[in-house]
Amino acid sequence: MNHLSPEEKAYALGKAIALEDFEKKAFLGNVFNAGKFLLGMGNLGARGSGLARVSAHHIGMPLGFGAMGAMSAEEGERGSGFLKGLAGGLAFNAAMPIGGFLGKKLLAPGFGGKYTQGMVKGMGFSDDAASTIAKSQALNKPLHGSLSRRLSAGTADPKHLKKLKESWTQQNKGLNLTGDLATQQTSINNLLTASTLTPTQQAELAKQLSGFTKGLYQSGYQTGGRGARAMLKGTRFAKGLGTMAGGMGLGMYASHGVEGAMNNQPASYFDARGGH
């Protein structure tokens, strides 16, 4: 570099530093995405890729449990620790939605589906506000669980998008919106009526749907009195708490049960006297 001018040397140095910084960020980004995947909160690879399609939540969570089991196992027992963790993760995945359902039914009974509108109206909200809040809940419901993750990963199939479109069309009946909500409604309509959606458009659809349902909820929530808003906020909190506590509680109970069963070694085929 001795033959370079000071300006060229500065450019070369800046380029090298920028490249090193980019490589570090890319490495840390991949590590972060892998960590999210093992916690069941993300996927590997680019949106819409084959890797994103096979790295779904129900795969990532058991692998994460397996990795934790292997790391916490004694030397020489890492393999069995991984298998026990893997089995525990599978049990956790199976039990978590059941526990979440039971938990929200226990702490917020009736707050969901066709009962929401009547409950919200009983809290003191007007008919229109109660209807808007109920529709917000119904529009957000399809995004719970795997569909939201599929959209974010860009791996939703046409059948998933068809069901989402049917729910959207049904719940939008009777909604007369203005301003930003009307603009968002039109944008989502355009995405759902497109013949195909790219992986990036699927992720954008999930983002817009989430924002729209939140805005729709707020438009009804803000019309209520202080007492009505407090009751609704408390009910929503109880539902969220029940879902989280029930899901985690039953999931961990099932996971520990499976792993504990795998810890029990079968009795010897021979008794202490060498007989059968």
- What pLDDT, on a 0 to 100 scale, did the predictor assign at position 5? 63
CB 167, CB 137: distance < 8 Å? no
Averaged over successive runs of 10 residues, the pLDDT of the chain (276 residues) comes to: 57 52 42 49 62 63 74 78 82 86 90 88 93 90 80 84 88 84 92 88 91 93 93 93 90 85 58 45
Q: Could you tell me the CA-to-CA distances from 157 to 147, 151, 191 in Å, in that order?
A: 10, 9, 14
* pLDDT reported for residue 40: 56
Pair 188, 236: CB distance under 8 Å: no
Q: What is the pLDDT of residue 224?
A: 92
| C-alpha–C-alpha distance, residues 48 and 202, integer Å | 9
What is the four-CA torsion angle of 157, 194, 134, 234, rounded to 10 degrees? 60
pLDDT at 271: 46
pLDDT of residue 124: 93
CA 195, CA 60: separation in Å to the nearest integer? 31
Q: Which residues does 43 contact at the CB level (< 8 Å), separation at least 6?
A: 33, 37, 51, 52, 55, 56, 60, 149, 152, 153, 155
Neighbours of 10 (CB within 10 A): 11
Question: In this structure, are residues 223 and 125 in contact, taking their beta carbons and an 8 Å threshold?
Answer: yes
0.85 exceeded by pTM: no
pLDDT of 79 reads 81
Q: What is the pLDDT at residue 31?
A: 40
